[in-house]
Amino acid sequence: MKLKLSRIRVIGISATILTASLLVVAGLVVASGILRDKRGTFLRLLPPHPVEELDSVRLGSDSYYFAGTDERSVYLSRYRNPFHLLKVDIPSLDTQHISLNYVNVHRQKYYSPKVKVRDNHFIMTDGSVGEIFSGALSERVGKSLECDSIFFRDILPVSVNSYIVKSLNGKGENMLGKFSVTQPHWLSSNLILEKQKDGVFCSDGTMSFNKKNGSAVFAYFYRNQFTVIDTSLNILYRANTIDTVSIAKIVPARIEDDGVSTLASPQYVVNRLVRTDGDWIFIQSELSAKNEHPDALKQGCVIDVYDFQTGKYSLSFYVYNYKGSKRMNEFAIVGDRLIVRYGNLLRALRLKPEYFAGTNTQLTTVVKDILQDQE
């Protein structure tokens, strides 16, 4: 038997089906809560213009990333090209290309080599290869540190000879360790990173070294905590970021076939990136505060500033998107300059001294005065 339908009926049925499928997806959108106001219950101090936009400079490529800073410059290297280093002078933004060489390097072993700069020295590593090349920027030649292989997920040079690494312990969980060229070569601590779920994602985070204070800060990606440690891996203090996510919301999962750990949930990032310099810790947060515009984080990124000595919150400011839609990829701090990278564009922002030159107590008073004035 053949069902006969006129063309009008067929089109009518098709339109009904398409409307129904639209409704199904609309139902999913509503049920997922993605449209809900996601602002938290916490507040941000947002004084008017604590940073001021200055000049910018174009880089030749999108593939640059920050390799390190010193008092007067920021260094960038390129993904998959550890032979190239770009030195950008601050505040002039003059650029200088530096080519690096390595002695006896097996290039094919390096899938994602990274270059880092600290104290006029550079290192080139790939956490899965286990070898570190190190050299002085004046000589531009990296030599292998003859040492036992160390494998890591992130490395933070704290001096010419020592590095804090984020690595996995025997149980496959995150830990921090310190590798030194001099004795003792290896130091590790299972106490710094606190496990909440799987010990891999829940305790993962971003880290940065503060040269002035000789200590490092580790901020968790998925919860509201950061920890400040000295270079012997002693905990100086733990502190909370201003938001309320004390337990990571992610759902860790494992694909047994591939042996890969992954997430079976959206990413729910709290702290995207931490950088510290001088008296401050700068944390890029992904969460909106109660007193922010609901779309504020679509127009820019928010950076919360904490006092390095105490971990107390000071203020927040926005780094607005480039041309409205290009979000900041990463930032670095050189003295009173915040250097922001948007793809292949570097922009300098000035941290205004009335907010950032004094101590935290002075600053808090300034901010409070301003907020009172606003009221």
Partner 1 sequence: MQLLSVDLIHRQTDGVMIKKTFLEIFTALLVVLFLYAALSKLLEYERFYIQVNQSPLLTGLVWIPILTIAVELITCLLLLIPSCRFIGYFFSLGLMGIFTAYIVAILKYSPYVPCSCGGILESMGWREHLAFNVVFLFIALGCCVLHFDRIDSDHENQLERLGI
Contact positions vs partner 1 (CB under 8 A)? 1-7, 9-11, 13-14, 17-18, 20-22, 24-26, 28-29, 32, 34-35, 251, 253, 255-258, 262-267
Nearer to partner 1, 103 or 253 (CB): 253
Q: Is 223 in a helix, a strand, or coil?
A: coil
Cα–Cα distances in Å, from 46 out to 204, 208, 291, 328, 367? Answer: 28, 24, 9, 19, 9
Kindly tell me which of 54 and 263 has the beta carbon lying closer to partner 1: 263
Q: Is 63 left (phi over 0), alpha (psi -120 to 50) or beta?
A: alpha
Minimum CB distance to partner 1, residue 262 (Å): 6
C-alpha count within 13 angstroms, C-beta hemisphere, residue 90: 23
Q: Work out how close the CB of 292 gets to partner 1 at its nearest, in angstroms, rounded to a whole number.
A: 15
CB of 301 to partner 1, least distance (A): 12
Q: In terms of C-beta density within 10 A (0-12 exposed, 13-18 middle, 19 or more buried), how is residue 175 classed?
A: buried
Our CB check for partner 1 shows the closer of 18 and 235 to be: 18
List CB contacts of 367: < 8 A, sequence separation 6 or more.
45, 47, 314, 315, 355
Closer CB to partner 1, residue 22 or residue 141? 22
Residue appearing with tokens 């199904």: 24
- The span from the CA of 286 to the CA of 300, in Å, is 10
On whether the CB atoms of residues 65 and 76 are closer than 8 A, the answer is: yes
Q: How far is the CB of 302 from partner 1 (least distance, A)?
A: 14
Tell me the closest approach of the beta carbon of residue 35 to partner 1, in angstroms: 7
Smaller CB distance to partner 1: residue 148 or 256? 256
Which residue has tokens 């990333």? Answer: 65
C-beta of 146 vs 258, nearer to partner 1: 258
For partner 1, the closer CB: 297 or 367: 297
Strand boundaries in 11-80, DSSP class E: 51-58, 64-70, 73-78
Distance of closest approach, residue 118 Cβ to partner 1, in angstroms: 32
Smallest gap from residue 146 Cβ to partner 1 (A): 41
Structure tokens at 43: 């507040």
Cα separation, 349 vs 94, in Å, equals: 16
Structure tokens at 224: 């509201």
Read off the tokens for 1: 């038997």
